[in-house]
Amino acid sequence: MIKKRVAIITGAASGIGFSTAEALARDGVKVVMADVNAEKLKSAAEEIGGIYLTADLSKRESCRDLVDFTLEHYAKVDILINVAGLQNVCPVEEFPEDKWDFMISLMLTAPFLLTRYCWPSMKENGWGRVINLNSIHGLVASEFKSAYVSAKHGLTGFTKAAALEGGPYGITVNSICPAYVKTPLVEGQIADQAKHHGITEEEVVRNIMLAKASIKEMLAPETIAEVVKFLCSDVASSITGIALPIDGGWTAN
């Protein structure tokens, strides 16, 4: 049962993060939502009855503040869902060094820090769930995404290492590796590529974004939220250390 558990969800103002927070709240979980977009985060939290903290998780102190905020309100953390992230398409030779640092900080260092800060509470209570929203790019690579692929591959490795340490204390650590999910961020990318290539948005999805997948359909954020709920459940108590593809057959190639 996950009812009355306490969950931190990052990147929770929209997309996968919001859908996950909404699904957990609907099942009676007390959700703590974090995002850098203050206006959207406030609205999202009010919509589902969660509490929230505006935070730039690329900064170490913000990660600490988020966990402290949760402990102050609920005295424990049971579930940590690391969703916050972004993509940047750029050749290696042109990739800005500061952008590299920012992406690694947000998508690899922040999940580590948040896990580290939540760990004592989970360990003390003998129960915990850490779920890292990964990507197929945590399993395979694509050109022009060096920072993103590096962060996601690192997240896969961190997930496995933390899972080995958490098992004796009832803590599972898993990652979910979807292909493209229909979020506001991705919808913007589709529109930009359609304009750039002079093709329809449907052609962008089928022939560019999902070219390597056998099922040419974008994923819904709600689908990812349901998988998160499953991994948080008691049924999944022996599932740990996995990088679960939800990719329409992309990584079967």
- Residue 127's nearest CA partner among 71, 77, 61, 52 is 77
Q: How many Cβ atoms are within 10 Å of 188's Cβ, its own excluded?
A: 10
Q: Which residues share a beta bridge with 10?
A: 34
Kindly report the length of the chain.
Answer: 253
Distances in Å between the Cα of 171 and the Cα atoms of 69, 111, 117, 151, 236 are 21, 15, 14, 23, 11
The HSE-up count of residue 3 (CA atoms within 13 Å, CB side) is 3
Q: Does 148 participate in catalysis according to the annotation?
A: yes
Q: One of 117, 148, 169, 180 is an active-site residue; which one?
A: 148
Q: Helix 60-74 and helix 110-125: axis angle, to 10°? A: 30
Residues acting as catalytic residues: 148
